[in-house]
Amino acid sequence: MENYKNPISLFKQTNFSKTIWWKLKVNISGYQNQTENKLVTEIFKNRIFRLLYPNIYQHNQNFSRILVQLYEDGYICWINLDGLIIEKYEVGKNMNFKNEYSFIKVKVPLILNWIKDQAEKKNKYLWGGTLGPNFDCSGLIQTAFFKHHIYIPRDSYQIKSFCKHLFYFKESYTALQPGDLLFFGNKKRCEHVGIYKGDGLYYHSSGKEFGRNGIGLDTLKCPNDKISLHYKSKLISAGRIVKNYRWDRTIR
């Protein structure tokens, strides 16, 4: 299928439709708003999106970014037109979602090994990072699952809502299984996520102020270092990925 280096002309041909899906042919960055360079996510080549802005009534305005919604996780962000290469994509309806949890369970050791490999690379915490080697907390978790063909939401609070809830934390973590997700924050909002490795240990990408400025392994078992102690004090709940995000049943 032909690649288009002038996506606006292609959007015009389709009257800036919000129901047509497009496949990315390059890695791109996603931004918080139309003008500032505040990164909120990085988007892999071959991911799929639909156009939200501009529309048929606005396309004559001057703009350098478009607002899109990603297919695999429903995420909304702004992307630059400069360097954008896309092709039209037909969303299939024949995806098999039977036995999703069995498929996910099989992938958990591979997911944990992939994260271990990322932790061994030189990396630092990057807000919005998903492409690697630099990740934010939810970017690391989402990409680990994406790499193994499991689609989950982008941000930690969205992942928390999407998971099968296991329990709220008090003291015990003995019911956790490898691959379960740990959510951190306060009573009002989840602000951080990690993934349980086993034996009280979990991987996460943490920032500079309270964390390791990158991917690290911390503990829930009687921690005596200040980073593990800090995050244990922020533990909210645990959850388990038991299904894929689906556009037709899980809209952000």
**Cα 141 from Cα 223, distance rounded (Å):** 23
pLDDT of the residue at 97: 61
Q: What residues have CB less than 8 Å from 113, skipping those under 6 apart? A: none
CA distances from 185 to 37, 116, 229, 241 (A): 26, 24, 14, 19
SS3 of residue 141 by DSSP: helix
Q: Average pLDDT of 54-60?
A: 74
Is the model's pLDDT at 251 over the cut of 60?
Answer: no
pLDDT of the residue at 45: 97
Q: Are 111 and 144 in contact (CB under 8 A)?
A: yes
Residue 247: pLDDT band with limits 50, 70, 90: confident
The model's pLDDT over 194-221, given as tens digits with 9 standing for 90+, comes to 999 999 999 999 999 999 999 999 999 9
Assign a CATH topology to domain 100-240.
Answer: endopeptidase fold (from Nostoc punctiforme) (3.90.1720)
pLDDT of the residue at 172: 78
Tell me the one-letter amino acid at 242. Answer: V
Could you give the residue ranges of the DSSP H alpha helices within the chain?
A: 7-13, 100-120, 137-146, 156-162, 226-233
Instruction: Decide whether 7-89 matches 100-240 in CATH topology.
Output: no
Domain residue extents for the chain = 7-89, 100-240
Angle, CA of 231, 198 and 210, to the nearest 5°: 15
The model's pLDDT over 143-197, given as tens digits with 9 standing for 90+, comes to 999 999 999 999 999 999 999 999 999 767 889 999 999 999 998 899 999 999 9
Long-range contacts of 79-82 (CB under 8 A, 24+ apart): 79/28, 79/29, 79/30, 79/31, 79/43, 79/49, 80/28, 80/29, 80/31, 81/7, 81/8
pTM: 0.94
pLDDT of the residue at 246: 82
Strand partners, 48: 23
Angle, CA of 26, 40 and 112, to the nearest 5°: 80
For helices 137-146 and 100-120, the axis angle rounded to 10 degrees is 120
pLDDT of the residue at 103: 96
Tell me the one-letter amino acid at 174. Answer: T
Domain 7-89 CATH assignment equals 2.30.30.40: yes
pLDDT of the residue at 252: 42
pLDDT of the residue at 211: 96
Q: Are 89 and 181 in contact (CB under 8 A)?
A: no
Q: Are 137 and 210 in contact (CB under 8 A)?
A: no
Q: Average pLDDT of 52-60?
A: 79
The model's pLDDT over 60-102, given as tens digits with 9 standing for 90+, comes to 677 899 999 999 999 999 999 999 999 999 987 655 666 899 9
pLDDT of the residue at 60: 66
Residue 43: pLDDT band with limits 50, 70, 90: very high
Q: What's the chain's average pLDDT?
A: 92
State the residue for tokens 């990315």: 24
Is the model's pLDDT at 114 over the cut of 90?
Answer: yes
